[in-house]
Amino acid sequence: MITVKTFYLNELRECCHILSDETGECLIVDPGICSQSEQQRITKYISDNGLKPVKLLNTHGHFDHVMGNSFITATYNIPTYIHAADKELLHHVKNTCRMFGYEIENPSDDIVELSEKEPVTFGNSSLDVIHTPGHTWGSVCFYSENEKLCLSGDTLFAGSCGRTDLPEGDTHAMIDSLINKLVKIIKPETRILPGHGTETTMLEELAHNPYLRSSNWL
């Protein structure tokens, strides 16, 4: 059984999710930590609950999702999992952060490339990787059909989807990811935990999210 704790971090209110199971092992997903107080909120939750972080996952390489990577990997000595197509964004994140007024350390180069062929495991649990390019080329969603849980990053939001107008965005890829991947793969009863905003369900999104209907994209 996976337990999820969500923290809203940095000025963009990015969602960092910590997933743990009955073994006490945990994953830290998208640590957009930008201050000492945010560092303390995360480390306190982990120590208060006796958790053992084993992997850092990134849904994509945007700075608001990865700016705390260096802190997490240095604190817990764990590898970073990111899709190969977003490694370049991660590589430049120190400079990107500087443009937005944040000073961070370079992220660790202990990187494991995410692939749809290989689920991410921790404790007794595992998450499938769904490659969903569109917001960035290396965007992924993490999905457990058993646990009825999907971390949708900046691909799918409650009532919306991620922007595709940034240099690494692609609207056609986004349509393909939403319509031909998420709609087909994710079961309706699934909890959707996005990278920004509120939690939702696939049932709710199938009923009301205009971006999940191909006719609305024509």
**By CB under 5 A, residue 62 contacts Zn ion:** yes
Instruction: From 54-62, 73-81, 169-177, 201-209, give the range in contact with Zn ion by CB under 5 A.
Output: 54-62
- CB of residue 145 vs Zn ion: minimum separation in angstroms? 25
The least CB distance from residue 21 to Zn ion, in Å, is 27
- Which residue's CB comes closest to Zn ion? 62
Per rule CB under 5 A, count of chain residues that contact Zn ion: 2
Segment lying near Zn ion (by CB under 5 A), choices 40-48, 57-65, 77-85, 102-110: 57-65
Residue 154 touches Zn ion, criterion: CB under 5 A: yes
By beta-carbon proximity to Zn ion, the closer residue of 123 and 195 is 195
* Cα–Cα dist 214/207, whole Å: 13
* Number of other CB atoms surrounding residue 160 within 10 Å: 14
- Nearest approach in angstroms of CB 12 to Zn ion is 9
Q: Which is nearer to Zn ion, 38 or 154 (CB)?
A: 154
Confirm or reject binding of residue 38 to Zn ion (CB under 5 A). no
Sheet with 140-144, side-by-side order of all strands: 120-122, 125-131, 140-144, 149-153, 191-194, 200-201
Residue 68 or 123: the one with the smaller Cβ distance to Zn ion is: 68
Position 196 contacts Zn ion (CB under 5 A) = no
Nearer to Zn ion by C-beta: 48 or 165?
Answer: 165
In the complex, the smallest distance separating the C-beta of residue 45 from Zn ion, rounded to whole angstroms, is 23
| In contact, 160 and 209? CB cutoff 8 Å | yes
CA–CA separation, 74 and 144 (whole Å): 28
Both tokens assigned to 21? 């199971």
CB of 46 or CB of 129, closer to Zn ion: 129
Length reported for the chain:
218
Q: Count CA within 13 A, CB hemisphere, residue 41.
A: 18
The SS3 call for residue 89 is: helix
Stretch that binds Zn ion, among 24-32, 154-162, 169-177, 182-190 (CB under 5 A): 154-162
User: Helix or strand or coil: residue 55?
Assistant: strand
- What does the DSSP 8-state code read for residue 182? I
Rounded Cα gap, residues 201 and 119, in angstroms? 22
Residue 205: CB minimum distance to Zn ion, A:
18
Distance CA 53, CA 157 (A): 26
Binding stretches for Zn ion (CB under 5 A): 62, 154
